[in-house]
Structure 1
Amino acid sequence: MADHVRWGILGAAKFAREHMGPAIHAARRGALTALATSSADKAGGFAAFAPGLKVHDSYEALLADPEIDAVYVPLPNHLHVEWAVKALEAGKHVLVEKPLAMTAEDFAPVIAAREASGKLAAEAYMIVHHPQWKKAKALVGSGAIGKLIRVSAAFSYDNRSDGGNIRNRPDTGGGAIPDIGVYIYGATRFVTGEEPQDILSTQIERENGVDVWSHITARFPSFHYTGVVSMRMAPWQEVVFHGEGGVLRLTAPFNAGVYGEASVELQTADLQVTRWRFPGDNHYVHQVEAFNASVLDGAAYPCPLEFSRGTQEMIDMVWAKDAAR
């Protein structure tokens, strides 16, 4: 490795082809150089934007490639820990799609492998790299909305027609909370810097063994939280931070540029509104560039495994509360 990070991808997932692969290719100080897949057709979709891509026919072969510095893992949820550890043991830096693990306890072997290898390991929690979230964190921290009283978050889409989707299957770690609950829970933790004290209530609907709709309320040290995620509702996403002196709203918080234009809207107590727009920012590219900078320069990575484990701890609290009902 010289002045850039050479990336490989384990598996030709649709999300990797449409979003993370192009982001790795576009990010400064990095290059997408290899893909592991046994499907020539799927490999062709990646080669279209990354000419000269080396294709390995197995994950093991890619991990053994001495010309690969970092690996992106977009495999089904239940395989994340296994292949993150294998990548680290092979001497590769690793970026693993969220959720990295199915329980907070499962982070332990990945953190141990990170420490043993000296390599960077992170969950692909891209939103914290987007300037809209950095702006939101700064505004709340500066007291722009006064004392925070309430956080409300929602994220939904409808995939009921795709029964084979890994999100609709219990054997692949599916469910709305593992898929998108990480966003509404983690974003709240990121902006406020607080951890939940107690899950107050859970309402969860399941189909085929996976959660498809949930409403949870929680108590944080200084505010009340309510969050909804669903795989059976019309597309919607919004996060609101409501304080004594104002309201902060993010209108496309999680799929900026796809769901809508990223913006942060501040309404003060006198009903004056200020809006910050971020039309050209790609959080996937920002994420890869932050990863590259950490690998090449030793820069602190904005979203360490310990932060991601904290979000999973909140999810675990939700499961425990629901099981106790």
Structure 2
Amino acid sequence: MAEIVKPPSQLRIHSLRRLIAALWPLRSHAGKRVSKDVEVDLTDVEFVTPTGMAVLAAALCDAGNYGVRVTLKRPQKQSVHEYMQRLDFYATARFPALDTYSFKRHDAGTRFRELIEVASDKDGHDICSEIANIIGAGCGLASDAKSALFCSLAEMVDNVFHHSSSTALVCAQSCPQLHEIEFAIVDCGVGFYQSMRRNPSLHNRFADATGAITLALEPEVTSNPSFNRGLGLFVTSEAVRHNGGLMWICSDDGAVGIMNGNSFAGDPGPRWPGAVVAARINTTRPFATQHIYDKLRVDNDSDLDTLFR
């Protein structure tokens, strides 16, 4: 008999940890092939955002990779089903048979970036450029601020390939009527704790998954100093903090949130082997970059000067 998974009715950034908890039967394989049946019932889902779609699709793909036989029941609410199809959820989550709604596809422009599984640096950079353009258009960013954002997003996606040994699920959308832009980068790799343990100089600076995430939010902290500068997550989180937006970073049983300009550690909770980085930006507030440069305290660095001034 199949194990039943019923996600929350709201698949959004606010319910991220409840969604992660509900999806555990899809992620409990511990990296080994298993033989079991799981039914994921989306019947009662009434609202979905990029974060919910990316996390759900990542869990479905990961379960399939390890032999879990998954059946998926689509949302009963037609508008939700159509929205998920338009943002390529079913195709990306490997359930193309549920693509039952016919529509004429138009260029999304700066409205959204459909859900996509990113498997290479080049594709990742192209997707990050699209997301930076979405945020730039919604927030009225100058070219230097948009360049800084692109570089920070690209570094975070690069980290998935080079630190996490995984692919990334990425999605973004601008909602002008709500004055919000949301994006999510999700992977099912080794997670912050195991990745940061690879750098011997960091061993004594964190004790658990939340500590590893907290440390990764500091400037120039990276598990692989020879590969990147450790600025991607720092720049993004500082931009969201200054903007008054919302951000969650979840990995293993740890979590760190940013809300109303403050960061806080979440209680140890449901496990997500890998990492979820999800953010919601307030388009009515400035998206400044000078304060980020000031925090870096790096003298005579022309590269940083080009990116953040």
| TM band (smaller chain) | under 0.3
| Structure with more relative contact order (C-alpha pairs < 8 Å, separation 6 or more) | 1
Q: Which is richer in strand?
A: 1
TM-score, reference length from structure 1? 0.25
TM-score, reference length from structure 2? 0.25
Q: Which is richer in helix?
A: 2
